[in-house]
Amino acid sequence: MPEAYRIPAHCLRSELVIRKSRFVTTVAPAATVARAREFLASVRAEMPAANHHVYGFRVGFGKTVTEGMSDDGEPTGTAGPPTLAVLRGSGIGDIALVTTRFFGGAKLGTGGLVRAYTESAQQALAQLTTELKVERRTVGIELPYSLYNIVKRMIAAHGGSLEDEVFDEQVLLVARFVREDLQRFTVELRERTAGRIAPVKLD
């Protein structure tokens, strides 16, 4: 997985009317395929009278992306592939998009459908606010009580967040770091403890 990529910051809905057909596009964050399918099901349930619910999703980013799409009854290749093509070109990951069509009585033809679904997806993404998703790692650090305050300060100094503390014969600290920060923290921790203590990855 890449260290950072852009994802939807929120859900969004936009609408386009083409020759009396309504194209309602809904976008949502989807960090898993299951979440993307749940989102599709929720849109279907919300607008059951629609003729088609065309969708595309991209979970992950770069080389580790998982994709899905459907024409949902539109002529093959006229709806799902154009939708997915827009998502691929957007530079956004962890995203699901559903364009719901209410037929207005006029057929658009294959070329017209491709343009309509492309434009619907593009319009929605143009309005979408994104945020940066940064890969984080969770680690456990077991240490003697004498190093407790020192290591806590080191975690904070390297941008880590302390998630949990367990006090037993030794102290177990659970912390989360951006990957690059974790590498620097690990180097310093080993240097300061002569290699006796190192974080253990928990995810």
Q: Residue 122 has what pLDDT?
A: 98
The three-class DSSP label of residue 139 is strand
Q: Find all residues with CB under 8 Å of 142, minimum gap 6, and list them.
A: 170, 171, 172, 197, 200
Q: What angle do CA 40, 111, 62 make, to 5 degrees?
A: 50
Q: Residue 2 has what pLDDT?
A: 55
For the entire predicted model, the pTM comes to 0.71
Q: Residue 179 has what pLDDT?
A: 82
Same fold, 4-133 and 135-201: no
Distance separating alpha carbons of residues 56 and 69, to the nearest angstrom: 4
Per-residue pLDDT of the chain (203 residues; tens, 9 = 90+): 456 899 999 999 999 999 999 999 999 999 999 999 999 999 999 999 999 999 999 999 887 899 999 999 999 999 999 999 999 999 999 999 999 999 988 889 999 999 999 999 999 999 999 998 887 889 999 999 999 999 999 999 999 999 999 999 999 999 999 888 999 999 999 999 999 999 998 87
**CATH class name, domain 135-201:** alpha beta
Q: What fold, for 4-133?
A: Ribosomal Protein S5; domain 2 (3.30.230)
Q: Find all residues with CB under 8 Å of 199, minimum gap 6, and list them.
A: 139, 140, 141, 175, 182, 185, 186, 189
Q: Which two tokens stand for residue 58?
A: 């991209």
Distance separating alpha carbons of residues 185 and 165, to the nearest angstrom: 18
Q: Residue 3 has what pLDDT?
A: 65
Break the chain into its structural domains and give their ranges: 4-133, 135-201
